[in-house]
Structure 1
Amino acid sequence: MLLIYVPEAPEPPAGTEPRDMNEAWVAYDKAVADAGIRVAGDALHGPATATTVRGAGNGSPETTDGPFAETREVLGGYYVLDLPDLDSALGWAGRCPATAAGGAVEVRPVVEFR
Protein backbone atom coordinates (compact mmCIF):
# COMPACT_ATOMS: atom_id res chain seq x y z
CA MET A 1 0.00 0.00 0.00
CA LEU A 2 1.24 3.47 -0.83
CA LEU A 3 0.08 5.98 1.79
CA ILE A 4 0.40 9.44 0.29
CA TYR A 5 1.20 12.29 2.68
CA VAL A 6 1.11 15.87 1.45
CA PRO A 7 1.54 19.24 3.12
CA GLU A 8 -1.81 20.41 4.51
CA ALA A 9 -1.76 23.32 2.07
CA PRO A 10 0.34 21.82 -0.74
CA GLU A 11 2.27 24.17 -2.97
CA PRO A 12 3.06 23.06 -6.51
CA PRO A 13 6.78 22.53 -7.12
CA ALA A 14 8.62 25.64 -8.32
CA GLY A 15 7.95 26.34 -11.97
CA THR A 16 4.68 24.40 -12.12
CA GLU A 17 1.05 25.40 -12.11
CA PRO A 18 -1.71 23.60 -10.16
CA ARG A 19 -2.94 22.37 -13.56
CA ASP A 20 0.46 20.70 -14.12
CA MET A 21 0.15 18.82 -10.81
CA ASN A 22 -3.34 17.66 -11.75
CA GLU A 23 -1.99 16.40 -15.07
CA ALA A 24 0.84 14.63 -13.21
CA TRP A 25 -1.69 12.82 -10.99
CA VAL A 26 -3.83 11.85 -13.99
CA ALA A 27 -0.72 10.50 -15.76
CA TYR A 28 0.42 8.57 -12.65
CA ASP A 29 -3.03 7.07 -12.16
CA LYS A 30 -3.11 6.03 -15.83
CA ALA A 31 0.36 4.49 -15.56
CA VAL A 32 -0.68 2.43 -12.53
CA ALA A 33 -3.85 1.28 -14.30
CA ASP A 34 -2.05 0.55 -17.58
CA ALA A 35 0.56 -1.53 -15.71
CA GLY A 36 -2.28 -3.69 -14.39
CA ILE A 37 -1.16 -3.31 -10.77
CA ARG A 38 -3.91 -1.11 -9.33
CA VAL A 39 -6.07 -2.87 -6.77
CA ALA A 40 -7.58 0.29 -5.25
CA GLY A 41 -6.80 3.94 -4.75
CA ASP A 42 -8.48 7.19 -3.88
CA ALA A 43 -7.79 10.77 -2.89
CA LEU A 44 -9.17 11.85 0.47
CA HIS A 45 -10.92 15.04 1.50
CA GLY A 46 -8.94 17.32 3.80
CA PRO A 47 -8.54 16.81 7.53
CA ALA A 48 -11.28 19.33 8.32
CA THR A 49 -13.77 16.68 7.14
CA ALA A 50 -12.39 13.94 9.41
CA THR A 51 -13.98 12.44 12.49
CA THR A 52 -11.91 10.30 14.84
CA VAL A 53 -13.27 7.49 17.00
CA ARG A 54 -10.88 6.67 19.83
CA GLY A 55 -11.08 4.15 22.64
CA ALA A 56 -11.56 5.96 25.92
CA GLY A 57 -10.38 3.04 28.03
CA ASN A 58 -13.78 2.64 29.66
CA GLY A 59 -15.31 0.46 26.95
CA SER A 60 -17.13 3.41 25.40
CA PRO A 61 -15.47 5.04 22.38
CA GLU A 62 -15.23 8.82 22.11
CA THR A 63 -15.85 10.67 18.86
CA THR A 64 -14.07 13.95 18.05
CA ASP A 65 -13.86 16.17 15.00
CA GLY A 66 -10.71 15.98 12.93
CA PRO A 67 -7.46 14.10 13.23
CA PHE A 68 -5.21 15.15 16.07
CA ALA A 69 -1.78 14.25 14.78
CA GLU A 70 1.06 16.66 15.50
CA THR A 71 2.23 16.92 11.91
CA ARG A 72 2.39 19.32 9.02
CA GLU A 73 1.60 16.58 6.54
CA VAL A 74 -1.79 14.95 6.14
CA LEU A 75 -2.86 11.67 4.61
CA GLY A 76 -4.06 12.78 1.19
CA GLY A 77 -4.81 9.42 -0.40
CA TYR A 78 -3.63 5.93 -1.04
CA TYR A 79 -3.02 3.24 -3.63
CA VAL A 80 -3.16 -0.48 -3.10
CA LEU A 81 -0.94 -2.03 -5.76
CA ASP A 82 -0.30 -5.66 -6.61
CA LEU A 83 3.50 -5.79 -6.85
CA PRO A 84 6.01 -8.61 -6.56
CA ASP A 85 8.40 -7.04 -4.05
CA LEU A 86 9.48 -4.02 -2.01
CA ASP A 87 11.81 -2.73 -4.73
CA SER A 88 8.89 -2.50 -7.18
CA ALA A 89 6.79 -0.70 -4.57
CA LEU A 90 9.59 1.77 -3.87
CA GLY A 91 9.92 2.43 -7.60
CA TRP A 92 6.23 3.28 -7.91
CA ALA A 93 6.37 5.38 -4.73
CA GLY A 94 9.25 7.38 -6.20
CA ARG A 95 7.22 8.11 -9.32
CA CYS A 96 4.27 9.43 -7.28
CA PRO A 97 3.59 13.15 -7.87
CA ALA A 98 3.39 13.75 -4.11
CA THR A 99 7.16 13.37 -3.84
CA ALA A 100 7.71 16.13 -6.42
CA ALA A 101 5.40 18.40 -4.40
CA GLY A 102 7.38 17.96 -1.17
CA GLY A 103 5.17 15.20 0.22
CA ALA A 104 6.03 11.65 1.20
CA VAL A 105 4.84 8.19 0.26
CA GLU A 106 4.90 5.55 2.96
CA VAL A 107 5.13 1.99 1.63
CA ARG A 108 3.64 -0.85 3.67
CA PRO A 109 2.67 -4.41 2.86
CA VAL A 110 -0.98 -5.30 3.33
CA VAL A 111 -1.60 -8.16 5.76
CA GLU A 112 -3.53 -10.99 4.15
CA PHE A 113 -5.62 -12.92 6.66
CA ARG A 114 -6.64 -16.38 5.54
Structure 2
Amino acid sequence: MKYLVMVQGSQADYDALGGKASAHSPAWSEKELRAMSSFMEELNNDLAESGEMVDGNGLAAPAATRLVGLGEDGRPVITDGPYGETKELLAGYWVLDCESLERVTEIAERVLRAPAPEGSPVYPVVIRPIPDAGGGDV
Protein backbone atom coordinates (compact mmCIF):
# COMPACT_ATOMS: atom_id res chain seq x y z
CA MET A 1 0.00 0.00 0.00
CA LYS A 2 1.22 3.50 -0.75
CA TYR A 3 1.18 6.23 1.88
CA LEU A 4 1.79 9.96 1.85
CA VAL A 5 3.87 10.89 4.90
CA MET A 6 3.86 14.64 5.57
CA VAL A 7 5.83 16.93 7.84
CA GLN A 8 4.63 20.42 8.70
CA GLY A 9 6.33 23.73 9.31
CA SER A 10 5.75 27.46 9.38
CA GLN A 11 7.49 30.49 7.91
CA ALA A 12 9.05 31.04 11.36
CA ASP A 13 10.58 27.54 11.15
CA TYR A 14 12.11 28.30 7.76
CA ASP A 15 13.41 31.63 9.12
CA ALA A 16 14.95 29.73 12.06
CA LEU A 17 16.68 27.35 9.63
CA GLY A 18 18.20 30.48 8.08
CA GLY A 19 19.50 31.66 11.47
CA LYS A 20 16.65 34.02 12.46
CA ALA A 21 15.19 33.16 15.87
CA SER A 22 11.65 34.06 16.92
CA ALA A 23 9.35 33.45 19.85
CA HIS A 24 8.16 30.42 17.86
CA SER A 25 11.52 28.79 17.10
CA PRO A 26 15.19 29.17 18.05
CA ALA A 27 17.77 29.85 15.34
CA TRP A 28 19.54 26.80 13.94
CA SER A 29 23.35 26.65 13.94
CA GLU A 30 25.35 25.27 11.00
CA LYS A 31 26.13 22.19 13.11
CA GLU A 32 22.43 21.59 13.83
CA LEU A 33 21.56 22.02 10.14
CA ARG A 34 24.24 19.50 9.14
CA ALA A 35 22.98 17.02 11.75
CA MET A 36 19.39 17.30 10.50
CA SER A 37 20.49 17.03 6.86
CA SER A 38 22.58 13.94 7.64
CA PHE A 39 19.65 12.38 9.52
CA MET A 40 17.27 12.97 6.59
CA GLU A 41 19.82 11.72 4.05
CA GLU A 42 20.33 8.52 6.06
CA LEU A 43 16.55 8.05 6.38
CA ASN A 44 16.04 8.56 2.63
CA ASN A 45 18.89 6.18 1.80
CA ASP A 46 17.43 3.52 4.11
CA LEU A 47 13.99 3.90 2.51
CA ALA A 48 15.46 3.69 -0.99
CA GLU A 49 17.51 0.62 -0.04
CA SER A 50 14.44 -1.12 1.43
CA GLY A 51 12.47 -0.36 -1.75
CA GLU A 52 9.85 1.63 0.18
CA MET A 53 10.76 5.08 -1.20
CA VAL A 54 8.60 6.14 -4.14
CA ASP A 55 9.24 9.89 -3.89
CA GLY A 56 10.04 12.52 -1.31
CA ASN A 57 11.12 16.10 -1.01
CA GLY A 58 11.33 19.11 1.23
CA LEU A 59 9.39 22.14 0.04
CA ALA A 60 10.34 25.80 -0.30
CA ALA A 61 9.41 28.24 2.45
CA PRO A 62 5.80 29.44 2.73
CA ALA A 63 7.01 32.88 1.58
CA ALA A 64 7.50 31.31 -1.87
CA THR A 65 3.92 30.01 -1.93
CA ARG A 66 1.26 31.15 -4.38
CA LEU A 67 -2.43 30.66 -3.69
CA VAL A 68 -4.84 30.57 -6.63
CA GLY A 69 -8.50 30.83 -5.77
CA LEU A 70 -11.73 32.20 -7.18
CA GLY A 71 -13.11 35.62 -6.34
CA GLU A 72 -16.78 36.33 -5.80
CA ASP A 73 -17.05 37.22 -9.49
CA GLY A 74 -15.67 33.80 -10.48
CA ARG A 75 -12.37 35.22 -11.73
CA PRO A 76 -9.03 33.90 -10.45
CA VAL A 77 -7.51 35.64 -7.45
CA ILE A 78 -3.76 35.08 -7.08
CA THR A 79 -2.02 35.79 -3.78
CA ASP A 80 1.64 35.32 -2.93
CA GLY A 81 2.65 33.99 0.51
CA PRO A 82 3.30 33.88 3.35
CA TYR A 83 -0.13 33.85 4.90
CA GLY A 84 -0.44 35.28 8.40
CA GLU A 85 -3.66 33.37 9.02
CA THR A 86 -1.97 30.03 8.29
CA LYS A 87 0.07 28.61 11.16
CA GLU A 88 1.44 25.43 9.62
CA LEU A 89 1.91 24.34 6.04
CA LEU A 90 3.30 21.27 4.36
CA ALA A 91 7.09 21.46 4.71
CA GLY A 92 8.02 18.14 3.11
CA TYR A 93 6.72 14.72 2.18
CA TRP A 94 7.49 11.14 1.28
CA VAL A 95 5.43 8.81 -0.86
CA LEU A 96 6.20 5.37 0.54
CA ASP A 97 5.16 1.89 -0.52
CA CYS A 98 5.02 -0.06 2.74
CA GLU A 99 3.69 -3.49 3.64
CA SER A 100 1.47 -2.15 6.42
CA LEU A 101 0.23 0.84 8.37
CA GLU A 102 2.38 -0.37 11.27
CA ARG A 103 5.52 -0.15 9.11
CA VAL A 104 4.80 3.37 7.84
CA THR A 105 4.01 4.39 11.44
CA GLU A 106 7.49 3.15 12.47
CA ILE A 107 8.98 5.38 9.77
CA ALA A 108 6.93 8.38 10.95
CA GLU A 109 8.17 7.78 14.50
CA ARG A 110 11.73 7.81 13.16
CA VAL A 111 11.07 11.14 11.40
CA LEU A 112 10.06 12.60 14.78
CA ARG A 113 13.57 11.87 16.06
CA ALA A 114 15.24 14.23 13.56
CA PRO A 115 17.73 16.45 15.39
CA ALA A 116 16.65 20.04 16.10
CA PRO A 117 17.69 22.81 18.47
CA GLU A 118 16.19 22.58 21.96
CA GLY A 119 12.94 24.53 22.09
CA SER A 120 12.07 23.93 18.43
CA PRO A 121 8.42 23.15 17.75
CA VAL A 122 7.59 19.50 17.18
CA TYR A 123 4.80 18.85 14.71
CA PRO A 124 3.02 15.53 14.30
CA VAL A 125 3.87 13.51 11.21
CA VAL A 126 0.76 12.97 9.10
CA ILE A 127 0.18 9.62 7.36
CA ARG A 128 -2.44 9.39 4.60
CA PRO A 129 -3.07 6.17 2.67
CA ILE A 130 -3.10 6.56 -1.12
CA PRO A 131 -5.85 4.36 -2.55
CA ASP A 132 -5.03 2.21 -5.56
CA ALA A 133 -6.39 3.52 -8.84
CA GLY A 134 -8.37 0.28 -9.14
CA GLY A 135 -10.38 0.89 -5.97
CA GLY A 136 -9.47 0.40 -2.35
CA ASP A 137 -10.30 2.61 0.60
CA VAL A 138 -11.34 6.16 -0.16
Q: TM-score, normalised by structure 2?
A: 0.67
Q: 1:74 aligns to what?
A: 89
SS in structure 1 opposite 2:6?
strand
Q: What residue in structure 1 maps to residue 21 of structure 2?
A: none
Higher relative contact order (CA 8 A, sep 6+): 1
- Greater Rg by CA: 2
CA distance in 1, matches of 2:50, 2:27: 26
Runs of 4+, deviation exceeding 6 Å: none
Identity %: 29
Gaps of 5+ in 1: none
Name the structure 2 match of 1:3. Answer: 6
Is 2:89 aligned against 1:89?
no
Contact 1:51/1:66 (<8 A) preserved: yes
Is residue 108 of structure 2 the alignment partner of residue 105 of structure 1? no
Between the aligned partners of 2:58 and 2:124, the Cα distance in structure 1 is: 14
Counting matched residue pairs gives 111
Preserved CA contact (<8 Å) 2:65 2:81 = yes
SS at match of 2:130: coil
* Offset of residue 109 of structure 1: 0.9
- 2:106 partner letter: G
Give the aligned CA root-mean-square deviation in angstroms: 2.5
Q: Which amino acid aligns with 2:7?
A: I
